Structure 1
Amino acid sequence: MQFQSEQSQQLHEQSVNLTRSILCELVATRILRRFYEDSSGPEGLLLLANVLVAGFSVFQGAPENIQQANLPRNHWTVTYKSRHPALEIAIVSQSKLFLSSGACQLVVNAIYIGRIVYTPTTFVDIIPDNYKYRPISLYDPRKAPFLNQYRLMVPRTRNTIEICQFICLLCLYLWIMIQRPPPHKYPLQEIVFSVYACGWILEQFSTILEHGWFVYTQNLWSFLDVTFSLIFGIYGILRLHGLRTESPVPGQQALDVLAMAATILIPRLAFNLMSENMLFVSLRAMMSDFMMLTVLAVWCFIGFLLSMLWLGEGKHHMATISKWMLWVWFGLDGTGIGRSVEFHWLLGPILMVTFAFLGYLFLVILVSMLSNTFSGLHSDVDSEIQFRRAVLTLEGVKSDAIFSYLPPLNIFAIVFLVPLRFVVTERWFHKINVAIIRTLNLPILVLVALIERQAWWAPRKKGKLPPGLKARGGKGRPGMGNRAISVPGFNAHGNIQAVFRAEYERIKQEEMDAEVGEVPPEVLNGDDVESFMMGAGGRSSDRRTSRDMMRRLTRRDSSMPLGEVADQLRALLSTADGESETGGGVGQRIHALEDRLKNIEEMLETLVRGKEKKKVEEEAIEDADE
């Protein structure tokens, strides 16, 4: 981050600082990759999670005087957020190479599906409930409570809930605008929409306080949410002003402003449902470049506007001149050039024609910038998508209790729980909060628990075929299983798809069962995680060796028998001198191999010389016979 900041400030060392920042990212990626290669299984996943999502202070390890000078104890940020996870720093610095690495994506996917659970560090909590701190641990649904309110904070579940909330907001908005209430009245459906929209905007504001403005704006649809919040704020002010003055004019203006929100809400649903589409990924960056160049163009063309306004001496209004200039800029109409003589017979046409040339130049620059932006994103679209996925995952992990209350119940939660927090003890506040959350979200918690136990985390019985591979004598038919796109029974190649899906599900289920069986109970329960991680380093080599020797063969080993050779070669190279199985070091083995090669060369030379000598003798005998 420091090198990127210096790159924008010190232009004479721009390439040097860019190289330094790339080198730092490569070193961080290599270190994380080393952790990933040295540790495997659930212990390795837990170690990677501690490396990426465990908070650390930026002044960690610095002398005490430096910490006091740069971040005093009474600093207000210390109270709220003094520790930052490495994953958040990678997002803030936009380290897309680091975030797209295999080790980082392994942890991101595990957090997204809820396999790794933890309590994140936050900037500000509106309703803080940290009575029970959750360390970084692996989640086991078989040992977790059935009504687990913390599963509402899993990014996958949270993303589904947020999409449903936005669909409800969109339906209420369409209901209001289709009926179009009268300006002088405030009907019930508009009250419901206003209250729900206030709760939805409150949730967006809480997200900004949770992770900060920069992380929030890295989301694809964040600018749409901010724009709708501004539109709704203007609508609310005008609507309340109209009710207070009992005038229909402000009410009509409020509904007109609210009608503009359709341009925001309809595309926002597409951003949610197709967040990894290349069009939407590139559209955000292209709109940023377009807005920047448009602001610069307007700034430069204000001089032309003032010159024409002063040359005309009040003959034309500023809005009319601006309209003519805008039409000329986009090539829609040449009215401004034709009527430029009304400003001045000579200077007016010169100004308007010069503006037309410069406007065309700005359009060419704009098209070139957008083309370069799109080509740059398209060349590395995988890293960009994985970066957005990491942002969505980090935003999905919440610690503020306000996110457990769906809109508009979060408004009533603030009204009731914030004063209650100063009245009761922390333990009783936690009990009351958990009881309310489980009561209000009972259907969602039951549905999440059933889905996780029956579909996502359900152990498969041995000998049981997956869906789609039932016996011919049964009720089902081959190839009639669940498929993502094809209609059951209407795909001629359903058996081909089903057999690969069955093999994949079998392998994944065996790996998950083996990993869960290897994890110690204290790791699954989240108890004594620090002591477990401290002792994992000393036991990692022995456990890894035994795990590699006893690992189950997969299809890759049967189709390509290089896995065992690679393991032996890795064990040979990782063995230090004097610690090999035969008592000799790697150097001694190399010398022995060289001696054997020399012996082979001597044998080959002897054979070649013997053949040549025999050939010469045969030629001599033939000459003697002749």
Structure 2
Amino acid sequence: MSRPETRRTLSDALRLAQSREEQETLLGDEEVADENGCITDSLSQVIFAPDPHAKLPVYTNIHRIRRLIIASIDDPYTLKQLKEPRLNVMIVRPLVDKLHNPNDVSIVYCLLVNRVQFLREQSRHAHHQTVSGSRAALCELVATKILRRFDEENEGRTALLLLANVLVAPFDPLQNAPDEVIEQSRHAIDWALQKRGGYEGKLIALEIAIISESKHFTSSIACQKVVEAVYHGRIVYTPTSFIDIIPDHYKYKPISLYDPRKAPLLNQYRLVVPRTRNIIEICQFIMLIALYVVTMTRRDHTRWSGYEVVFVVYALGWLLDEFASILAHGIAVHTQNLWSFLDMTFVVIFMAYIVPRIHGYMIGDLEMCRQAVDILATAAPILLARIAFNIMPDNMLFIALRAMMGKFLLLTAISVWLSTGFMLALRWLSLGGSNPPGSPEHAEPIMIAKWMLWIWFGLDGTGISKAPGFHMYLGPALMVVFAFLGNTLFLTVLVAILSETFNKLAEDASSEIQFRRAVMTFEGVKSDAIFAYRPPFNILALGVLVPLRFVLSPRWFHKINVGIVKILNAPILVVVSFYERQYLWKTPKKVHPDGPSKRSWMSFWSFSGFSVHGDIQACFEVDPPQEVIDEIEMIDELNDDIFKNGLQVPQRDVSPGTPDLRSRRMSSIV
């Protein structure tokens, strides 16, 4: 039997809002943490924590969910239709009640794995919506509701840690499967998996949500609660990855809260906190742009200047960091990053520059060296655009540009392909005997392509005026048809498709922004030790630590790696430590014993201290006293019923002459 529908009261809504605020105030001074500042159970004292969820029947759950989803829906529906009340009562809620298990945190992961499979089946029939696409949407919707129920049934620290285990605990799709299934299902790529003490090849639910583009799931309140906590470093865990260039798996930390006051001053693990890493990456990219600008303003293709050598070395270190990011989570996740297409474009430009530059210098070909430097000049719009994407990652314009870029490139490739036929036809006509003498330029494909490009963008009609030179009748006919198809039809289709893409993004801009934030958070947590080395030191680490890994024991390799990281990043670690001890966890707001008027000297220059409207913020700087809260609850006792039942307020005993709340509300509406 499905669970009866419950209606939230005003108190329930306030409790939910308060629980979101309490996420930043979960720690007190009495907390007990391990030597790394992690607050968790007794497993924190173990160097390599075993998998606490190793006994969960993940394989069985996946196939059980698939059978239930297939049996629940046989017709194509959209996600919006599945969220309607009728289908919610008939399909969604019974599935949530049947699948939700407070002791099994793998259900959400299994639902998202089934979504990936249904989307793969949908891709085989991409020309129309099939029931597989509807089943994939149903998996996402049920996973969202189960995650929300985990959040609603727990409070405070318990809820945050439980949600973190649901979203970032690693699982294997074949976990606890029969032996014969494992032998038949393992792929040939398993030989490349690095040993991680039982965590090899495991994925987390958040990663599955990203590769399946489950934007409704990632934009849910419960998911964003964990994403924000991981992004700021309040929740710490040891991530898994496909391949690490410098693997250091001597230690494995369970999912836990982080208390910076109990952690060492130089904590190398804070270098892979997404917020810290994002700031460091912005600084690294600014350094790359500065070296690029200096190199181009002082360029000399005849020799290698000191500026160019420094730029090349630093850029190679940056490329190594980019390559390690792709290896860590795969190209499917990396391309979901907002600025990944800009990074890949710069990699192509840099390789097109460095190879002829070195080759031309070695053979003494100055013209090749000059061409290489000219190629490097084309990276300027890429680098400047990339820093803008970094500074404003939540800007809807940049998100729309990233989404439209793929479709624009696809349509452009198709148009170039189709235009090649017109160019070949004109080329062969120019080689015939019908073209007038004295026009040898008609036989040049480059000239033909240039005239067609001018017509394409509507810049010039030279190609049409030259068309009779190819053929008296066929030449003008081909040029006119090409002008209609290219300049009119294709551009109209292109504008329509790009407009539709932007409109879809704008309709649900919040979900799109939160999805990109989840991608940035997941990509920011790295397990590879090479990410703790800033370019170009990562090149030195690659040349020194990789050979040492085959000589030293895991314990000594870990000690040497940690020591070098702390020495190279000591200033950054000190700044991060002092900042997080002050601002990572907020102190609960309390009423000052001397009254709210007593403020620190810094508040004089703040909004509430030195402003005509300062009392507006001052009213919210401290929580109201308990007697004020009690008075508010007495006043709002009747409002709970209004919040619960709308305008259908039950009859209450009121004193004569006192207008009841419903009539007052109706009169205000009228």
Interval containing the TM-score (normalised by the shorter chain):
0.7 to 0.9
Say whether the 8 Å CA contact 1:50–1:136 is kept in structure 2. yes
- Based on CA coordinates, which of the two structures has the bigger radius of gyration? 1
> Which of 142, 147, 150 lines up with 1:27 in the alignment?
142
Alignment of 1:566-581 (within 5 A): none
Report the CA distance between 1:191 and its aligned residue: 0.9
Report the CA distance between 1:10 and its aligned residue: 2.5
> Which of 548, 559, 562 lines up with 1:420 in the alignment?
548
Q: Which AA in structure 2 matches 1:401?
A: A
Q: Alpha carbons of 1:18 and 1:155: their partners in 2 closer, same or farther (altered >3 Å)?
A: same
The question of 1:434 aligning with 2:562 is answered: yes
Q: Corresponding residue for 1:120?
A: 239
Q: Alpha carbons of 1:274 and 1:200: their partners in 2 closer, same or farther (altered >3 Å)?
A: same
Q: Corresponding residue for 1:148?
A: 267
Report how many residues are paired: 514
> Which of 597, 600, 614 lines up with 1:494 in the alignment?
614
The question of 1:354 aligning with 2:469 is answered: no
Say whether the 8 Å CA contact 1:169–1:196 is kept in structure 2. yes
Q: Alpha carbons of 1:8 and 1:449: their partners in 2 closer, same or farther (altered >3 Å)?
A: same
- The residue matched to 1:119 in structure 2 has which SS? coil
Q: Corresponding residue for 2:311?
A: 193
- The residue matched to 1:75 in structure 2 has which SS? helix
Q: Corresponding residue for 1:607?
A: none
Q: Corresponding residue for 2:133?
A: 18
2-side partners of 1:481 and 1:106: how far apart?
29
2-side partners of 1:566 and 1:5: how far apart?
49
2-side partners of 1:317 and 1:349: how far apart?
18
- The residue matched to 2:337 in structure 1 has which SS? coil
The question of 1:177 aligning with 2:296 is answered: yes
Say whether the 8 Å CA contact 1:211–1:395 is kept in structure 2. yes
Q: Provide, for residues 115-151 of structure 1, a one-character-per-residue CA deviation record: whole Å limited to 9, x for no partner.
A: 1100111010011111111111111112221211101
2-side partners of 1:461 and 1:23: how far apart?
41
Q: Corresponding residue for 1:276?
A: 394
The question of 1:238 aligning with 2:356 is answered: yes
The question of 1:39 aligning with 2:154 is answered: yes
2-side partners of 1:194 and 1:12: how far apart?
47
Q: Corresponding residue for 1:480?
A: 605
> Which of 103, 121, 146 lines up with 1:6 in the alignment?
121
Q: Corresponding residue for 1:335?
A: 462
Report the CA distance between 1:239 and its aligned residue: 1.4
Alignment of 1:399-414 (within 5 A): 399-414=527-542
The question of 1:323 aligning with 2:438 is answered: no
- The residue matched to 2:171 in structure 1 has which SS? coil
Structure 1, unaligned stretches of length 5 or more? 508-551, 569-596, 601-626
Q: Which AA in structure 2 matches 1:387?
A: F
Say whether the 8 Å CA contact 2:288–2:311 is kept in structure 1. yes
- The residue matched to 2:264 in structure 1 has which SS? coil
1-side partners of 2:226 and 2:260: how far apart?
19
Q: Provide, for residues 57-85 of structure 1, a one-character-per-residue CA deviation record: whole Å limited to 9, x for no partner.
A: 11234322112101169832554652110
Say whether the 8 Å CA contact 1:200–1:408 is kept in structure 2. yes
Q: Corresponding residue for 2:518?
A: 390
Q: Corresponding residue for 2:111?
A: none
> Which of 340, 343, 346 lines up with 1:228 in the alignment?
346
> Which of 177, 184, 188 lines up with 1:69 in the alignment?
184
2-side partners of 1:157 and 1:266: how far apart?
22
What TM-score does the superposition give when structure 2 sets the normalisation length?
Answer: 0.72
2-side partners of 1:307 and 1:557: how far apart?
85
Say whether the 8 Å CA contact 1:123–1:211 is kept in structure 2. yes
The question of 1:455 aligning with 2:572 is answered: no
2-side partners of 1:30 and 1:558: how far apart?
35
- The residue matched to 1:126 in structure 2 has which SS? coil
Q: Corresponding residue for 2:77?
A: none
- The residue matched to 2:443 in structure 1 has which SS? coil
- The residue matched to 1:219 in structure 2 has which SS? coil
Q: Alpha carbons of 1:263 and 1:149: their partners in 2 closer, same or farther (altered >3 Å)?
A: same
Say whether the 8 Å CA contact 1:96–1:384 is kept in structure 2. yes
- The residue matched to 2:605 in structure 1 has which SS? coil
2-side partners of 1:557 and 1:361: how far apart?
68
Structure 2, unaligned stretches of length 5 or more? 1-115, 432-439, 642-650, 654-670
Q: Alpha carbons of 1:301 and 1:184: their partners in 2 closer, same or farther (altered >3 Å)?
A: same
Q: Corresponding residue for 1:590?
A: none
Q: Corresponding residue for 1:591?
A: none
Percent identity, aligned pairs only, is 54
Q: Which AA in structure 2 matches 1:160?
A: I
Say whether the 8 Å CA contact 2:607–2:614 is kept in structure 1. no
2-side partners of 1:457 and 1:112: how far apart?
13
2-side partners of 1:336 and 1:465: how far apart?
84
Say whether the 8 Å CA contact 2:352–2:372 is kept in structure 1. yes
Report the CA distance between 1:430 and its aligned residue: 0.6
2-side partners of 1:74 and 1:2: how far apart?
19
Say whether the 8 Å CA contact 1:328–1:356 is kept in structure 2. yes
> Which of 499, 503, 528 lines up with 1:375 in the alignment?
503
Q: Which AA in structure 2 matches 1:395?
A: E
Report the CA distance between 1:154 and its aligned residue: 0.6
Q: Corresponding residue for 1:287?
A: 405
The structure whose residues are more often helix, as a share, is: 1
Q: Alpha carbons of 1:335 and 1:20: their partners in 2 closer, same or farther (altered >3 Å)?
A: same
2-side partners of 1:275 and 1:45: how far apart?
26
Report the CA distance between 1:553 and its aligned residue: 6.8
> Which of 55, 75, 98 lines up with 2:170 in the alignment?
55
Say whether the 8 Å CA contact 1:308–1:348 is kept in structure 2. yes
Say whether the 8 Å CA contact 2:234–2:584 is kept in structure 1. no
Q: Provide, for residues 308-356 of structure 1, a one-character-per-residue CA deviation record: whole Å limited to 9, x for no partner.
A: 0000116331111111111111111111111100000000011010111
Q: Alpha carbons of 1:213 and 1:12: their partners in 2 closer, same or farther (altered >3 Å)?
A: closer
Q: Corresponding residue for 1:593?
A: none
Q: Which AA in structure 2 matches 1:228?
A: F
> Which of 302, 306, 309 lines up with 2:427 in the alignment?
309
- The residue matched to 1:83 in structure 2 has which SS? coil
Q: Corresponding residue for 1:520?
A: none
2-side partners of 1:60 and 1:221: how far apart?
35
Q: Which AA in structure 1 matches 2:429?
A: L
Report the CA distance between 1:220 and its aligned residue: 0.9
2-side partners of 1:317 and 1:97: how far apart?
54
Q: Alpha carbons of 1:240 and 1:420: their partners in 2 closer, same or farther (altered >3 Å)?
A: same
Q: Alpha carbons of 1:384 and 1:435: their partners in 2 closer, same or farther (altered >3 Å)?
A: same
Report the CA distance between 1:36 and its aligned residue: 0.8
2-side partners of 1:30 and 1:554: how far apart?
37
- The residue matched to 1:339 in structure 2 has which SS? helix
2-side partners of 1:322 and 1:445: how far apart?
57
Q: RMSD value over aligned CA atoms?
A: 2.9
- The residue matched to 1:45 in structure 2 has which SS? helix
Q: Corresponding residue for 1:612?
A: none
Q: Corresponding residue for 1:579?
A: none
- The residue matched to 2:519 in structure 1 has which SS? helix
Task: Say which is worse superposed, 67-76 or 238-247, in terms of deviation.
Answer: 67-76
- The residue matched to 1:138 in structure 2 has which SS? strand
1-side partners of 2:627 and 2:340: how far apart?
44
What TM-score does the superposition give when structure 1 sets the normalisation length?
Answer: 0.77
Q: Corresponding residue for 1:258?
A: 376
Q: Alpha carbons of 1:323 and 1:561: their partners in 2 closer, same or farther (altered >3 Å)?
A: farther
Q: Provide, for residues 29-68 of structure 1, a one-character-per-residue CA deviation record: whole Å limited to 9, x for no partner.
A: 1111111111111011101100110111112343221121
2-side partners of 1:171 and 1:461: how far apart?
44
Q: Which AA in structure 1 matches 2:536?
A: P
